[in-house]
Structure 1
Amino acid sequence: MKTPTLSDVARAAGVSYATADRVVNARGGVAQKSVEKVQKAVAALGYVRNVAAANLSTQRVYRFAFVIPTESNSFFRHIHALLAQRDLAGRDLRQTIDIVGVEAFEAAALEGALKNLAGAGYDGVAVVGIESPGVAAQLAALQGQGAAVFSFISDLNASERMGYVGIDNTMAGRTAARMVGMAHNGGAGAVQPIVGSLSLRDHQERLAGFRAVLEADFPQIALRAEIIGRDRNDIVEDRLEQALRAAPDISAVYNIGGGSSGIARLFARRPTRPFCVVHDLMPHTRTALKDGLVDVVIDQRPEDEIDRAIELMRAAANRLPLASCLPITLAIYVRDNLPPEASQSFTDIRSLTE
């Protein structure tokens, strides 16, 4: 049995080839009655649209935007550099990636950046989410214009995006708590959590997961009020030093966001230090592990997050079924299982300082 063609669809629907083509490729300008005829013919014949041929015939170039915090810390410097690499590599795949930097933790800045994307004809937008009514309204406007919106690294409400690309942040927090509990070996202690900002869902979820495991399985370990470090090394270093001076019984530190270089600097000048869990395997956290200044790094594998986001936006732009939006599997590193260090590249050089 031969594969049905667009000509077969047009014949079965009783419309011209041009009309069938406009309906199948969503080009508009077709009466609703004809649209319904073509859709019925597509279903009856089992016609599958040839995306590659359609794109070739229209010389289509996919336009994607990543709306992410500016390069204010090593993690997002790394993300910016990876996206720039993907943009160059994607030219042969007829796709471009615009990187839109916004001030971290500022809902108004994110709202303004999203508003500026309106009418630009983006096929897909990936955004590090901050929950606010203004952000939600701008995301809805982009989706109304046909852009496929995905939350990236930090999730949004399900109604505001087609899917989420990132790790399960509650699981990450639970994992960190398990590491802390095991390190205490049944003994009592106190943990100092550090967050960038609780305006980000990923930081909220990590802290909630961390708290849940401590309360359920390690009630002898107290959880102190979180330090707000805004992912800045100087703020994290200063406020953690104050906390340790005020409460010498702190036996563990969990850094939920950025600013880990500040922790390493502080611990390097102390004779002893608490057990420490941080996020994201960067050159500075790798060095801190090797030097014994932190104990565990939980990594979200940003290369995989970016590639998954591009794959999903491309599929959504082609109106194809979306691949699974299951969370990215996180990686857990101690000084003994560090992966081989990649040869130094532009990305690594930019990430050496946070």
Structure 2
Amino acid sequence: MPHRYPVREIARQAGVSEATVDRVLHGRPGVREGTVLQVEQAITDLDRQRTQLRLSGRRFLIDLVMETPRQFSGLVREAMEQEFPGLRPAVMRARYHLRETWATDDLIAQLDAIGRQGSHAVVLKAPDTPEVAAAIGRLTAARVPVITLVTDVPMSTRIAYVGMDNRAAGATAGYLMCQWLRHVHADVLVITSSAMFRGEEEREMGFRSAMRAHDPGRRVIEVSDSDGLDATCGTLTARALRDFPDIGAVYSIGGGNRGIVAAFAAADRTCEAFIGHDLGDANRALLRSGHLTAVLHHDLRADMRQVAQSVMRFHGALPGDQPPRVSGIQVITPHNLPD
């Protein structure tokens, strides 16, 4: 059976004779082990170069659709714009559809419009609802793959989820909280932006699970529907502080952390431990000032690489069908804050 590369091409790549390559390909004796490895490496190199040739001149248009606070959408957009130029010879460009709050009908209309306009992929952060899952199904039918980012819509036809293990992230926050409050009597406030985001729900579940395991007597008070915005979070936190005088720690799942800090200051209350997510400018400043104890972070640029690889595999520009790896969870404090 002929090899996928001509013997002459393999020999030129390996720097050996065509007769030697022929003996290696057919498993004949008389070739040193080092030379066999040399020929095998040459074939691997040719495979890699063929992939590069396949990518040369390929252009991909990706639509980023997110319902999220501006701080986080800015981080994702920055990561995308930093990472995509390094993917050459393939060329990727993005269209951005970013809102802090998005009425369901408007979000669905945007997804359907993308399906009509044409796109190589949609990267989506949206609530896990039947309407969103149905819209993903229509995009799939139009040959537009959908990759969910940070929060999943698992009962849909999306081709991949990219992001951290949200349940593990919440459990990490719960473990840290138990350690820091070991000698402190305080209730813990957990704030989410919406009950409809599966990623936030999983973080909250992981947090409660770790608290039950390590500090079962600690009371956890949940506040939802903050939209992750500073003003809303400030109002909801102020109300919770009035209603629950023992609140002394916070796990902020959905953002709005400046509003939370302001509410504690206005109530003249101390926050013994405050854990948040993501390294936007606001959270960096709160870490440096000591208001945030730690931030759970993952590498968004690595996420964007995985997004790009998923898109290229779907369209046959990269070989294989490798699912994205779960993003690693980093615990950031004021002492290891990256540049």
TM bracket (short chain): 0.7 to 0.9
Distance 1:242 1:103, change over 3 A: closer
Q: Is it true that 1:263 corresponds to 2:260 in the alignment?
A: yes
Partner in structure 1 of residue 212 of structure 2: 215
CA displacement, residues 106-132 of structure 1 (integer Å, 9 cap, x when unaligned) = 433321111001133322221113222
What is the CA distance between 1:50 and its match in structure 2?
4.9
112, 122, 126: which one pairs with 2:123? 126
Partner in structure 1 of residue 21 of structure 2: none
What is the CA distance between 1:100 and its match in structure 2?
2.2
CA contact (8 A) 1:170 1:208 kept: yes
Distance 1:280 1:48, change over 3 A: closer
CA contact (8 A) 1:231 1:257 kept: yes
**Aligned to 1:157, what secondary structure does the other structure show?**
coil
Superposed, 1:227-306 pairs within 5 Å as 227-268=224-265, 270=268, 272-306=270-304
What is the CA distance between 1:86 and its match in structure 2?
4.8
CA displacement, residues 58-90 of structure 1 (integer Å, 9 cap, x when unaligned) = x542222221136x4311122233334556666
**Aligned to 1:224, what secondary structure does the other structure show?**
strand
- Tell me, in whole angstroms, the C-alpha distance in 2 between the residues paired with 1:256 and 1:69: 15
Amino acid at match of 2:273: F
Of 165-174 and 311-320, deviating more is 311-320
CA displacement, residues 197-251 of structure 1 (integer Å, 9 cap, x when unaligned) = 0111111111111111112221111111324311110111122122112222112
- Tell me, in whole angstroms, the C-alpha distance in 2 between the residues paired with 1:179 and 1:285: 18
Amino acid at match of 2:326: P
- Tell me, in whole angstroms, the C-alpha distance in 2 between the residues paired with 1:329 and 1:48: 27
Partner in structure 2 of residue 4 of structure 1: 4
Distance 1:252 1:54, change over 3 A: closer
- Tell me, in whole angstroms, the C-alpha distance in 2 between the residues paired with 1:322 and 1:69: 29
Of 252-261 and 137-146, deviating more is 137-146
CA contact (8 A) 1:236 1:262 kept: yes
Partner in structure 1 of residue 325 of structure 2: 326
Superposed, 1:330-349 pairs within 5 Å as 330-339=329-338, 341=339
62, 65, 83: which one pairs with 1:67? 65
- Tell me, in whole angstroms, the C-alpha distance in 1 between the residues paired with 2:309 and 2:247: 44
Normalization by structure 2: what TM-score?
0.78
- Tell me, in whole angstroms, the C-alpha distance in 2 between the residues paired with 1:251 and 1:212: 20
Amino acid at match of 2:284: R
Partner in structure 2 of residue 154 of structure 1: 151
Distance 1:336 1:5, change over 3 A: closer
What is the CA distance between 1:264 and its match in structure 2?
2.9
Please report the RMSD computed on the Cα atoms of aligned residues, expressed in angstroms: 2.8
- Tell me, in whole angstroms, the C-alpha distance in 1 between the residues paired with 2:72 and 2:100: 14
Number of residue pairs the alignment of both structures matches: 297
Question: What are structure 2's unaligned runs of at least 5 residues?
Answer: 7-46
Question: What are structure 1's unaligned runs of at least 5 residues?
Answer: 7-46, 342-354
CA contact (8 A) 1:232 1:258 kept: yes
What is the CA distance between 1:266 and its match in structure 2?
3.3
Amino acid at match of 2:286: A
Q: Quick one: percent identity of the two aligned structures?
A: 23
Superposed, 1:198-213 pairs within 5 Å as 198-213=195-210
Amino acid at match of 1:132: T
Superposed, 1:166-177 pairs within 5 Å as 166-177=163-174
**Aligned to 1:230, what secondary structure does the other structure show?**
coil
What is the CA distance between 1:158 and its match in structure 2?
5.0
**Aligned to 2:195, what secondary structure does the other structure show?**
coil
Amino acid at match of 2:335: D
What is the CA distance between 1:49 and its match in structure 2?
12
Partner in structure 1 of residue 9 of structure 2: none
CA contact (8 A) 1:151 1:161 kept: yes
- Tell me, in whole angstroms, the C-alpha distance in 2 between the residues paired with 1:115 and 1:310: 22
Normalization by structure 1: what TM-score?
0.75
CA contact (8 A) 2:84 2:91 kept: no
- Tell me, in whole angstroms, the C-alpha distance in 1 between the residues paired with 2:87 and 2:116: 23
- Tell me, in whole angstroms, the C-alpha distance in 2 between the residues paired with 1:242 and 1:226: 10
